[in-house]
Amino acid sequence: MVRPPVLLIDPQNPVYQASQDICNSQSFPPARRSLTTQLENNSSIEPTFTTMSPFPISSPGYDGPKSLSFSKYASPGQRTQLAAASAVPMTAIPSSETTIATKQQIAATGVAAEMTPPAAELAVQQGAKLKKQVEDHAAKFANAVSSTATNTRQLLALLRESVPGSEAVDDLWKELEQLFEAANDAKAALPTFLEKQRDSMSLYHSSMMNETICETQQELKLQHKKINTQHSLILEQQDAFQQYKEQTNSKVKELESLQERVSRLTLEKGNFRTEVDKYKGLLEQEVAKKAEDFKTANALQKELEILVSSNKQLQVENETLRKTTTDMLDQLKGSEQRVTARFTKELKIKAEELEKETVKAASLGTLVNTLKIGEGSVKNELEKVKTENRLLSVKYNNLASEHAATFTKVNEQTKKIQTLIADGDRLLKQNTDMQTKLEKATGLAKTSAELSKIKEDLSKQVENLVVQLDEAKDEVKKGNVQLLKAKQATKDDVPAAGNVRALLEKVKRLEEKKEDLEAALSEWTELAKRSYKEYKDMLPTYRAAEEYRQDAHEKEAQVHELKLQLAAAKASQSNGVGAGGGDATYWKQKYESLLSTIG
């Protein structure tokens, strides 16, 4: 046989280290290495089920070159090659000359031989236990055979003594001796059979282990050849790669500097664009601001001219106002009397309205008590009315004090007249709005009246329905009572055939009447539920109409009050002897000029 060439293996090679790790972890499991070493050394392993089995003990089988493809040092290309190589069957005959083991493998096997794995220890213990069990069984069997032999011998002797001259006892004894000899032979043959089985299984294990070791060595040779070729290729291409790297190093550095310069220029360009946009916006703002300043300057110049002319007019008006102050004091007393009379009238009107509201609240309370709905809302509305009445009285007192303060301040009369004129215009607009709202309020009042009528009709219908429902229930009860009485009468008395037929017809009529009454009762209940649902649906609209009506009353009172204030303002303006009119026209012109400048 030709000896394969010895490979130059570099222990520092990572691929070689990975292959050694895989060989140490998968190709030579601890249990298998220990068993092979013990079998080769002819150690005394007892024939147990674990040692005699042809399968490995709790260790994964070696998959050949596939194991190297899962190493962290293997490349994707090598994985496909290794997978293809693993498909080739190994048919080499194992021999001691072809097997090659490295120093690391020899050291690993020595360490594994010294350190017995737990699986091997368990196998040895189970073998010893099985041997002990076989010995115990043989001893028990021997004792049983010997005891039965002595007992049968004694029994046969007794039979021979009791039955003299019979040959059947001797024949039976001969047959039993043959049986005892066969049992002793079986007892002696059992250990020999176990020894033969152990020898055959050890031979099978040794042959399988040698075959697997040979296969792993062949695979490792193939992998070492591939690794050496890869190393040679790497060493050949390393110089070319270094030269290319030296040539392109300067270009790479230049490219990096250019990239940095381009990024810096793009950043500066973006900054410049943002600054240009910002200054452009500021310039537009300044242009717009300058145009606005120019407009305001023209408006202020016009106002200055108007103020100069109005200053002269004010000096003349001031002299006239000094003359009219005495007249105004006299008029103040009369206006105070008129205001007090007006406020007393308004208070009386409010008191009457309050009485009306209390009457309405009482009626609403009775309505709520009858329907048992909306009690809390009515109380809240009454409290609101009371608080509004208090607020109105406080407001009237405050207005009286304010009017007294306004009459004492004569110097500010002109400005107040102008504000009252503006308020008059605004109030006129509000008056028109209030008139439209009053029209809406009248419509809402009509709708509320209609809703109240509908509500009353619904309440009457509900009451009628309740009465009719009670009557129907009473009729049903009466019909049930009559039916029970008729049934009881039929049970108590045994009538003739004609009377029985009449009673049956009567019972049938009563049952039909009962069904009709039950149908009517269900119809009345459905009608009551539907009417109550309609009433419940209409209740929010009724409340909303009531709120609109109260709001319309409040707005009407405000309009009346504003009309009185406007009339008082016009009266005070007409009593101003023409001085306030000029001031009002001046301020009106000024206001219009400001509006024109703003427009």
What mean pLDDT do residues 297-316 have? Answer: 79
Map 116-154 to HEC letters.
CCHHHHHHHHHHHHHHHHHHHHHHHHHHHHHHHHHHHHH
What are the distances in angstroms from CA 466 to CA 76, 459, 463, 532?
A: 93, 10, 5, 11
Task: Give yes or no for residue 160 having a pLDDT over 80.
Answer: no
State pLDDT tens for residues 358-375: 777 666 666 656 665 555
Residue 17 CA to residue 22 CA, distance in Å, equals 9
Range with the lowest mean pLDDT among 94-108, 147-161, 356-370, 522-536? 94-108
Q: What is the pLDDT of residue 220?
A: 92
| E runs forming strands in 205-343 | none
The maximal CA–CA distance of the chain, rounded, in angstroms, is 187
Check residue 46 and give its pLDDT: 41
CA distance 383 to 549: 17
Q: Is residue 151 part of a domain?
A: yes
For residue 210, what pLDDT is reported?
Answer: 85
Highest mean pLDDT among 62-71, 150-159, 505-514: 150-159
SS3 state at 160: helix
The DSSP call for residue 28 is: S
Q: How far is residue 517's CA from residue 482's CA, in Å, rounded to a whole number?
A: 14
- Tell me the C-alpha to C-alpha distance, in Å, between residue 125 and each of 45, 118, 203: 10, 10, 21
Determine the average pLDDT of the residues in 548-563.
74
Among the listed ranges 246-260, 550-564, 575-589, which one has the minimum average pLDDT value? 575-589
Residue 541 in this model has a pLDDT that exceeds 60: yes
Domain presence at residue 573: yes
CA distances in angstroms from 142 to 138, 174, 176, listed in the order given: 6, 19, 15
Q: What is 469-519 written as a DSSP string?
A: HHHHHHHHHHHHHHHHHHHHHHHH----HHHHHHHHHHHHHHHHHHHHHHH
Residue 263 placed within a domain: no
- Torsional sign, CA 551, 552, 555, 557: negative
In a domain, 262, yes or no: no
A 10 A CB-CB count for 61 gives 12
pLDDT one-digit tens code per residue, 482-507? 666 665 655 555 444 455 566 667 66
Q: What residue type is 425 in one-letter code? A: D
Residue range 544-565: mean pLDDT, rounded: 74
* Residue 68 in tokens: 């190297």
- Residue 222: per-residue pLDDT: 92
Q: What is d(CA 40, CA 63) in angstroms, rounded to the nearest whole number?
A: 24
- Specify the residue for token string 């994964």: 60
> Which range among 67-71, 255-259, 290-294, 311-315 has the greatest average pLDDT?
255-259
269-283, pLDDT tens digit by residue? Answer: 888 888 888 888 888
Structure tokens at 412: 């500010």
- Residue 406 resides in a domain: no
398 Cβ partners below 8 Å, 6+ apart?
A: none
Number of domains in the chain: 2
342 in a structural domain:
no
Query: With 70 as the cut, is the pLDDT of residue 576 above it?
Result: no
Q: Please identify which residue in the block is written with the tokens 């596939």.
A: 66
pLDDT in tens, 453-484: 766 766 676 677 667 667 766 766 676 676 66
Q: Most confidently modeled of 79-93, 195-209, 571-585?
A: 195-209
Boundary (domain end) residue, out of 249, 270, 289: 249
Q: Which residue has the higher pLDDT, 55 or 246?
A: 246
Q: How far apart are CA 351 and CA 346, in angstroms?
A: 8
- Collapsing DSSP to helix, strand or coil, 27 comes out as helix
532 or 9: which carries more pLDDT confidence? 532
Structure-block tokens of residue 273? 């664009």
Can you point out the beta strands (E) in 222-373? none
- Taking 80 as the threshold, does the pLDDT of residue 250 lie above it? yes
According to the model, what pLDDT value does residue 22 have?
43
CATH number for the domain spanning 478: value is 1.10.287.1490
Enter the DSSP assignment of 413: H
Does residue 258 lie within any of the structural domains? no
Final residue of a structural domain among 187, 214, 249? 249
| 455, 458, 459, 517 from 531: Cα distances, Å | 10, 7, 9, 21
Structural contact between residues 31 and 120, judged by C-beta atoms closer than 8 angstroms? yes
The encoded tokens of residue 51 equal 């040692």
In the prediction, which pLDDT does 44 show? 39
The pair of structure tokens assigned to 56 is: 């490995």
Q: Is 444 exposed, middle or buried (0-12, 13-18, 19+ CB in 10 A)?
A: buried
CA distance 510 to 9: 118
Report which of 211, 186, 245 is spatially closest to residue 98, judged by C-alpha positions: 211
Whose structure tokens read 């009466």?
A: 478
Q: Which tokens belong to 227?
A: 């690794």
Residue range 160-179: mean pLDDT, rounded = 76
The domain in which residue 526 lies consists of 413-599
Last residue of a domain, which of 226, 249, 272?
249
Nearest CA among 396, 301, 391, 386 for reference residue 347: 396
Determine contact, residues 559/430, Cβ cutoff 8 Å.
Answer: yes
Could you read off the pLDDT of 406-447 as tens digits, one per residue? 556 655 655 666 666 666 667 667 666 666 666 666 666 666
User: Who wins on pLDDT, 503 or 183?
Assistant: 183
Structure tokens at 592: 């219009």
**What is the structure's pLDDT at 494?**
45
CB crowding 81-102: b at 16 or more within 10 Å, else e: ebeebbeeebeeebeeebebeb
Any domain includes 571: yes
Radius of gyration (Cα) for the chain, nearest Å?
Answer: 63
